[in-house]
Structure 1
Amino acid sequence: MTALTNRRVAVVTGGSRGIGAAICRRLAADGLSVHLVYRDADDAAKRVATEIEAEGGEVFVHRADVAEETEVRTLIGGILRQSGAIHVLVNNAGIIDDRLLALTKLAQWERVLKVNLTGPWLLSRAVLPTMLEQSWGRIINISSNSVRIPGAGQTAYAASKGGLEALTRGLAMEVGRKGIRINTVAPGRVRTDMTDPVSAQLGGNEGPRWGVPEDLSGMVAFLAGDEADYIQGQTFTVDGGRLVMRPRGGKGA
């Protein structure tokens, strides 16, 4: 598909698998034209796009490293030429590289922050001129409850996601009067390709059930729409109650 669209246009990073793929499917089902952005998983990205098209949705697939400024600039410029607008940006792409701080090299720390924090900053900066011109836009950042209850070795990851939540609040203050809404969704434990290798560090099967990607996509779809117009600069926890439920056998404070 290469024609301009009359639908609202959404850009979803990390859209080939897990939470990102579920968000792409949901937004397409809601009638948005979805630009799925991925970095490595060619087959997975094509599979999600095929599923969306089979259900009558409109989807475009783009390969880009969201942590690289030149690639972000090329990506957003191409999307604007292709679809003529960008109404929704979902900053979902992220990486985990868990290791104890004393064993973390500077390059490893910087890579986590570059993908998880600088990437959303680059993309937000790239789409803002269009959203400001439209006087309408939604930017939804995907954080993590590791900001509040990090597992062992999650210093870099928790710091990057904490920074992302601060970015949400700061940008919401800057552009809130311009019809643009910036919010964050913070998942709890969600079964994805990225979390499976660290499931033991995230508590195994203790506590509330693990979530599935579709548990997040409804919240993102709501924040992407008109009904969320009075919501600004907020972080929404979607974790099955993990933050408020004591472990069995735990003692009260």
Structure 2
Amino acid sequence: MPEPAGPARIALVTGASRGIGAAIARRLAEDGLLVHVVCHSALDAGRAVVKEIEANGGQATLHRADVGDESAVGELVEHVIARHGALHVLVNNAAVIDDQLLALTSTDRWERVLRTNLTGPFLTSRAVLPAMLDQGWGRIINISSNSARTPGPGQSAYAASKGGVEALTRALAVEVGRKGIRVNCVAPGKIRTEMTAAVADRFGPDGDGTRWGLPEDISGLVAFLAGDEADYVQGQTFTVDGGRMVMRGAAGRRSR
């Protein structure tokens, strides 16, 4: 594979102000990438991520953008490419959760979830592809969820959006694989973040003994997929859940 030009690879991470996205941004910066941190509303948290990266010797820039807004995505990607002349890694992490039983879900709520969680990765991926195709090298990493396979009550919109992300990953991998672009997906299980800490403390480990993961449990795999060593990995969805799906299946077989 040809090496991308420039002294440092350029990464764009959406939803990077907190939780998994922030951990991914920090890890990529530790690996020497110049990271563009994208958030929609949590600007103070985004600034804190950038400051932390810079304090540790990395390079990062904060952007505010709605990934479901076509014009905003276009302006964001154009700005990054104009500044650096390249864009090597895209991590589609931005997502919203708006759980509601399907019978009670309004069309507006349904479309809001899909606009951010599924249309967002479509828009950002489409925007970065011309630069990656010109380079003959690129990495697109989508963040899905185990809810695509084992959704809870009220997760119809969220599960549908994440299932779509996994299908988008496979389809895009087919389209661009011969051009040196690798497209893969990571599906986290229960991850302890600022938003889920209270729930994690309340419920603790599952009956199968699996624990809540940490954002760093996801960022390490993303960092691998963003690098040269993942060149033979294409169109895959990796489940990272501490064995929860396997253990649940085993528990079900034992009960029968």
**Gaps spanning 5+ residues in structure 1: where?**
none
User: In 2, distance between residues paired with 1:71 and 1:246?
Assistant: 42
The verdict on how the C-alpha distance between 1:151 and 1:132 changes in structure 2, with shifts beyond 3 A counting, is same
1:199, distance to aligned residue in structure 2 (A):
6.1
SS at match of 1:243: helix
Identical-pair percentage: 65
| Aligned match of 1:9 | 10
| Aligned match of 1:244 | 246
Q: How does 1:193-204 map to 2 (within 5 A)?
A: 193-195=194-196
Count of residues in Structure 1 that have an aligned counterpart in Structure 2: 249
| Aligned match of 1:216 | 218
Conservation of the 8 A alpha-carbon contact between 1:96 and 1:194 = no
Give the TM-score, by structure 1 length: 0.93
| Aligned match of 1:27 | 28
Q: Which moved more, 1:231-240 or 1:242-251?
A: 242-251
| Aligned match of 2:87 | 86
| Aligned match of 1:205 | 205
User: In 2, distance between residues paired with 1:249 and 1:236?
Assistant: 22
Q: Give CA deviations for 1:9-67 in whole Å, capped at 9, x if unaligned.
A: 00000000000000000000000000000001111011110000001001011000000
**Gaps spanning 5+ residues in structure 2: where?**
none
SS at match of 2:244: coil
Pick the structure with more helix per residue. Answer: 2
User: In 2, distance between residues paired with 1:187 and 1:225?
Assistant: 20
| Aligned match of 2:39 | 38
User: In 2, distance between residues paired with 1:136 and 1:5?
Assistant: 13
Q: Give CA deviations for 1:182-207 in whole Å, capped at 9, x if unaligned.
A: 0000000001244457769xx76314
Q: How does 1:168-183 map to 2 (within 5 A)?
A: 168-183=169-184
Conservation of the 8 A alpha-carbon contact between 1:76 and 1:127 = yes
SS at match of 1:102: helix
User: In 1, distance between residues paired with 2:42 and 2:82?
Assistant: 25
Q: What root-mean-square deviation, in Å, do the aligned CA atoms of Structure 1 and Structure 2 show?
A: 2.0
